[in-house]
Structure 1
Amino acid sequence: MKKVYLFIFLLVTGFSGFGQRATLKRANTLFANKSYVEAAVMYQQLDQTQEVLQNLGDSYYYNSQMSSAKTPYTKLYLTYTDSVPPEVLFRYANTLKALNDYEEGDKIMGKYLGYAVDTKKFKENLKKIVPYNYEIKRMTENTSTGDFGMNFYGDKVVFASFRNSENPTYHWNQRPYLDLYEARVSPDKELKDIKPFSDSINTKTHESNATFSSDGKTMYFSRTNDKRVLIDDVEIATVKLYRAELVDGSWTNVTVLPFCSDLFSTQHPMLNKDETRLYFSSDRPGTMGSFDIYYVNITGDSFGEPVNMGPTINTKHREQFPYIDSDETLYFASDGHQGLGGLDIFMSKIFDGFYSKPLNLGETINTGMDDFSYVLNEDEETGYLSSNRDVGDNLYSFTRKENPRRFIVTGDVRDKNSKNLLPGTTVTLFDEQGTVVGQMVVGEDAEYIFNTEPNTKYKIEAYRDFYIPTVEDLVTNDDGRIEFNIELEIESYDDAEEIVVTKDDGYIYIELENIYFDFNKWDIKPQAARTLDVLVNLLKKYDRMEIQLGAHTDNRASEEYNLRLSRNRAAATLEYLVENGIDRRRLRSKGYGESQPLVKCGDNCTEEEHSINRRCEFLILK
């Protein structure tokens, strides 16, 4: 009998083990259904293919487990560098930044964006131009409750939390579903008398991000659907916005807002001060990419059509958690604008009905992790934010203090002829003595910004490889104007000069008459000197241009002989330029011998074909 029991036990445990055995199909199903904790456990047990490494890194990334995400992302990048999808490079770069590895993170982000990124310099520039510095205090030492999304509720606050262990478990992170809680804030910024919000608001699904009318009788909040719908072959529970009314001390008339849908998410509501407009984030059709900031106008009990706040505010990445102050200044979280890593908090002021380029609030409030859900008590210059900088989402209070008033100059850089933006351009600010007082490499929006002083003369220079540097003068008169806008336009060499051309190989050349040498010689003949004098004048005209002198021969001698001969001719050409006043550091010489014929005629070349192959080329390096 004992043997029978043992057999049954082994049979059952065997089937149980088989059911939980890691397979790629099961891991991918969990991943597709956003059960990232379980998916990560499965992927850890599988062979580390490109697909497994990418999904394993993503599973950790989506739960903000950056230390765990780094290992598979790094192996993925080192092993499959050329085939890593761009969006994974973006996540890998932010993972490294979250771990304070800005040097490597900038390198990966630069590869994703296609131009250089320098977060250290970016942070230094922000110190000079942010309007406020922040003093931050964590509001609770409990790291297990997952508190975030705080907002004002009369003399109390309301926030979302995982605290209710009786709620069902959310597969994404294996935590309970979110509920709303209310609390008092003590003078030393601690949460007191924490208790669940109304039972008519909290359900067995997620509730978060409440915003209230000034009389406290109307609230808007986010709630996740209690059912999933099939979207792109994956069952997803989207988020909707709800409104509720306080009647005789109870929250009632809980209704979904009419512009929500089962097919996309609408979340993070925020009322403006006069309660005529509701701001929110959504991934509805028509977004720039991921989540965008929208608003709807409110007229009585009616809502207008959602309005996307446009490309100045929104990017192809995430823009979420809007907050609007009494001056209509917009605060929001984004990982699409240039930042320190993850979600950063930005502000955008409105001028003549248009919102300005968002300004990162700087490192006194932002970190390499996610920083979001900013709300402000303008009278006291205090407020709250949420962040996962210290193991999971937590609430933080802040006090902001004015950064000393500074004058700024801002603008963008464009191609003079096409008017296209030129990200990656270096913009330098010089004082009257020619000393560099600021320098930055412009980002995707090609915009620069510098701190300046009043009543001071400056020069601003825009420079990038293969373009002619442009310099503009600026005088910051102290006439009450603190912001100066200068659009910089630079012209490429091949637009400015007829003899500069971009060829089919993608390289930029200076086209001159061919330079001829006597047989077996490399002396510069008078005719060649006249041609090279044109090159000398061009190099003197553009004192940052650097070139490579490439000499080629025909194939009428041995390969070794031709290589040596071409090197000597290239070197002789270089020396001629140096003798005529061109800095040697701007020149390179290279002999190609017979290895790169323009006419591939083999042993049957005509004299004309030989002369075509026997040439000197001038390649622009920068």
Structure 2
Amino acid sequence: MRNFRLHILLIVLASGFFSFSQSLRKADNLYNNRAYVKAAEIYSQLPKSAEVYEKLGDCYYYNSQFDKAYKAYQKVYNDYSLDKKISKTFYFKFFDVLRGTKKYDLADEISTKYLKDSLDTKAQLEKLRKVVPFDYQLYNITSDISGSNFGATIYGDKIIFASTHNADNPDYKWNKKPYLDIYESQFSEKDSTKLDSIKALPSSINTKKQHESNAVFTKDGKTVYFSRNLDKRVEIDSNKVAVVSIFKSELINNEWAEAKPVSFASEFYSTMHPALNSDESKLYFSSDMPSSIGSFDIYYVDITEDGSFGEPVNLGASVNTDRREQFPFIVKDSTLYFASNGRFGFGGLDLYASSKKDGEFLDALNLGETINSSYDDFAFVVTDSINKGFMSSNRDGNDNIYSFNRIPTNRTYYIEGLVTDKVTGNLLPNTTVTLFDEDGNVVAEMVVGDDAKYKLETRPNRSYSIEGFQPKYIPEIQFFNTNDSGNIEFNIELEIESYKDAEEIVTDDDKGNTFIQLENIYFDFAKWDIKPQAAKTLDVLVALLKKYPRMEIQLGAHTDSRAGYEFNMDLSEKRARATLEYLVENGINRARLTSKGYGESQPLVPCGDNCTEIEFSINRRCEFLILK
């Protein structure tokens, strides 16, 4: 009897295990095919493990249900974080969900500890508030239109956007919503913040069981580019993926021709979110092609006169990260707007801008908290008025299109730092700090106080140089660029080196005077012309003055006491002037030089009339005093 009961128990256990395995396989199969809604229903009923919790969280994460995703991911983090199998990918998703649920302190901890990216959201947010160029006023224009609505653009007097509005379309397994189509609409005459007369574009654009979205039209209205997923799924990294490609259609006899994929599209990677620059010579887009830095990067292709395309060009690390960059848009001044989840932000996709300078895009700037939320914010476009446009967001639980007005903010950028001695590290009060623009014009100048600190106002997206100048020091010049990446205070410590530390022939006396020590210059008795041996010595001085073009010196000539006082004073002045003229003849600006004759008034050896020949020669000398 006992054996019979044991047999029954084993059958029950085996049956339960078989049922669990079958359910897990079914859930995994749905998960791998992106049927996240149905997969979540099964995962939520299964016995929990790190894998089940993570995949359950993923199902919610990929449908932007961040509160539910947080609960699942939190279980993985709290109960399984010591498991070596927990991947960096998990920590990024958890980090993203924490931002999406505004748990910024824990998000910073995850980023710093596991993603190796030190983050202080509160400090960065405070800095961002000072630097964002615009505040945004948003108006939801699709709140009364069923389904998901996003990706607005202007086509003549119509607004074009993507929507799951058509309830007759079959459901998409990912989110159990109808497939996306592209629609046209107009603002309502009764309510200028709402859309009406909504109409789907023809079947040459929209299909039954494929997604169409993100249309962009040429200025003449005769060509449209848009995104469409291919009906054939391909296996990428052991998963079946529906690749998205950019399609092109032309208006012929007032009808849109059958759309065809562009030449740079592929069935093995996605190209999507087309955008044209102002002269329509380039088509920007997002892609996960093999050359991408992250999961999706922003590229462009040149459009030739015959309508063909060049090779895709990656915009590089100033725009793209190791995460996701999508939905590019280019305005007339070549500023690029795009969405990313790979930079400092508020959660999900945030909107960023990158200005262009000398043909290169600068580091991107988050557009700020008046337009970005803790959810996905994307598909930014401006209309003919530079301060009006549209963006899309799922901040209210569903994708909606928002129109915006933007208001310029007052921004002030600074360059600041300390001035110190390069060798000793000591502060250098009374140093003159000068800011120059890229053409060498003085923009601002100040003399630092006892704290040796400077702070000068700059402007974004400019090239500057800054100089620290202190008498008897080598001027230090640093070059820098300001940008719109969120930095408003650029810190440069100016370390300047004294001439005596830089050059062996420069020394200080016990009175604090700084001299250039050269071999003595000898003159014939009662003469002041420069002899060949003296010229060799002065050539060393010429080289030093050319090396340091800001150095200014005094040429001091001294005699012995063997003639009368007035005669010696006149002779020393002539010798000092002769030395100065030699330097001028050899390319030294006269304004950097002064000369002075001291006669017999400052002997090094005060021996009066009882000097030896050696002592007389010591007193008979030229000195080179550094003034600046």
Aligned partners of 1:457 and 1:476 also within 8 Å: no
From 268, 271, 274, the counterpart of 1:266: 271
Q: Which residue of 1 aligns with 2:193?
A: 189
1:197-246 per-residue CA deviation (whole Å, 9 max, x = no partner) reads 12211002100000000011110001111121222332221011111111
Q: 1:332 aligned to 2:338?
A: yes
TM-superposed deviation, 1:404: 1.6
Q: Which residue of 2 aligns with 1:175?
A: 177
Please give the alpha-carbon distance, in whole angstroms, between the structure 2 residues aligned to 1:196 and 1:286.
36
Q: Against the structure 1 CA distance between its residues 278 and 478, is the aligned structure 2 distance closer, same or farther, given a 3 Å change threshold?
A: closer
Please give the alpha-carbon distance, in whole angstroms, between the structure 1 residues aligned to 2:192 and 2:43.
45
One-letter code aligned to 2:57: G
Q: Which residue of 1 aligns with 2:207?
A: 203
- Aligned CA RMSD, in angstroms, stands at 3.0
Q: Against the structure 1 CA distance between its residues 410 and 356, is the aligned structure 2 distance closer, same or farther, given a 3 Å change threshold?
A: farther
Q: Which residue of 1 aligns with 2:114?
A: 112
TM-superposed deviation, 1:64: 0.4
1:522-567 per-residue CA deviation (whole Å, 9 max, x = no partner) reads xxxxxxxxxxxxxxxxxxxxxxxxxxxxxxxxxxxxxxxxxxxxxx
Q: Secondary structure at the match of 1:287?
A: coil
Q: Secondary structure at the match of 1:194?
A: strand
Q: Against the structure 1 CA distance between its residues 210 and 20, is the aligned structure 2 distance closer, same or farther, given a 3 Å change threshold?
A: farther
Please give the alpha-carbon distance, in whole angstroms, between the structure 2 residues aligned to 1:312 and 1:479.
16
Q: Which residue of 1 aligns with 2:127?
A: 125
TM-score between the two structures when normalised by the length of structure 1: 0.64
Equivalent residue pairs, number: 425
TM-superposed deviation, 1:146: 0.3
TM-superposed deviation, 1:287: 0.4
One-letter code aligned to 1:391: G
TM-superposed deviation, 1:477: 6.9
TM-superposed deviation, 1:77: 0.2
TM-superposed deviation, 1:38: 1.1
1:302-347 per-residue CA deviation (whole Å, 9 max, x = no partner) reads 1001111111110110000000000110000000011111100000
Aligned partners of 1:240 and 1:267 also within 8 Å: yes
Q: Secondary structure at the match of 1:476?
A: strand
Q: Secondary structure at the match of 1:239?
A: strand
One-letter code aligned to 2:214: N
Q: Which residue of 1 aligns with 2:307?
A: 301
Q: Which residue of 2 aligns with 1:78?
A: 78
Aligned pairs (5 A) from 1:219-368: 219-299=224-304, 300-368=306-374
From 390, 394, 397, the counterpart of 1:388: 394
1:412-442 per-residue CA deviation (whole Å, 9 max, x = no partner) reads xxxx9xxxxxxxxxxxxxxx9xxxxxxxxxx
Please give the alpha-carbon distance, in whole angstroms, between the structure 2 residues aligned to 1:457 and 1:145.
60
Q: Against the structure 1 CA distance between its residues 30 and 261, is the aligned structure 2 distance closer, same or farther, given a 3 Å change threshold?
A: same
Q: Which residue of 1 aligns with 2:544?
A: none
One-letter code aligned to 1:352: D
Please give the alpha-carbon distance, in whole angstroms, between the structure 2 residues aligned to 1:116 and 1:319.
21
1:114-143 per-residue CA deviation (whole Å, 9 max, x = no partner) reads 243222222221111111111111113237
One-letter code aligned to 1:295: Y
Aligned partners of 2:414 and 2:458 also within 8 Å: no
Please give the alpha-carbon distance, in whole angstroms, between the structure 1 residues aligned to 2:87 and 2:316.
26
Q: Against the structure 1 CA distance between its residues 480 and 301, is the aligned structure 2 distance closer, same or farther, given a 3 Å change threshold?
A: closer
Please give the alpha-carbon distance, in whole angstroms, between the structure 1 residues aligned to 2:153 and 2:414.
33
| Structure 2 portions without partners, runs of 5+ | 1-17, 423-428, 430-442, 465-480, 483-489, 496-628
One-letter code aligned to 1:184: Q
Aligned partners of 2:357 and 2:461 also within 8 Å: no
TM-superposed deviation, 1:472: 7.4
One-letter code aligned to 1:326: K
Q: Which residue of 1 aligns with 2:378?
A: 372
1:62-114 per-residue CA deviation (whole Å, 9 max, x = no partner) reads 01011111111001100111333111111112212212222222222222332
Q: Which residue of 2 aligns with 1:66?
A: 66
Larger gyration radius, structure 1 or structure 2? 2
Between stretches 344-353 and 99-108, larger displacement belongs to 99-108
Please give the alpha-carbon distance, in whole angstroms, between the structure 1 residues aligned to 2:447 and 2:127.
17
Aligned partners of 1:179 and 1:203 also within 8 Å: yes
Q: Secondary structure at the match of 2:37?
A: helix
Please give the alpha-carbon distance, in whole angstroms, between the structure 2 residues aligned to 1:47 and 1:488.
57
Q: Which residue of 2 aligns with 1:495?
A: none
Aligned partners of 2:228 and 2:244 also within 8 Å: yes
Between stretches 471-480 and 109-118, larger displacement belongs to 471-480
Q: Which residue of 2 aligns with 1:592?
A: none
From 398, 407, 415, the counterpart of 1:401: 407
Please give the alpha-carbon distance, in whole angstroms, between the structure 1 residues aligned to 2:378 and 2:226.
17
Aligned partners of 1:22 and 1:42 also within 8 Å: no
Q: Which residue of 1 aligns with 2:9?
A: none
Please give the alpha-carbon distance, in whole angstroms, between the structure 2 residues aligned to 1:348 and 1:103.
28
Q: Which residue of 1 aligns with 2:38?
A: 38
Please give the alpha-carbon distance, in whole angstroms, between the structure 1 residues aligned to 2:461 and 2:77.
51
| Structure 1 portions without partners, runs of 5+ | 1-17, 417-431, 433-453, 460-470, 492-622
Q: Which residue of 2 aligns with 1:26?
A: 26
Aligned partners of 1:240 and 1:260 also within 8 Å: yes
TM-superposed deviation, 1:474: 4.0
Aligned partners of 2:164 and 2:178 also within 8 Å: yes
TM-superposed deviation, 1:408: 4.2
One-letter code aligned to 2:272: Q
Q: Against the structure 1 CA distance between its residues 246 and 480, is the aligned structure 2 distance closer, same or farther, given a 3 Å change threshold?
A: closer
Q: Against the structure 1 CA distance between its residues 334 and 410, is the aligned structure 2 distance closer, same or farther, given a 3 Å change threshold?
A: farther
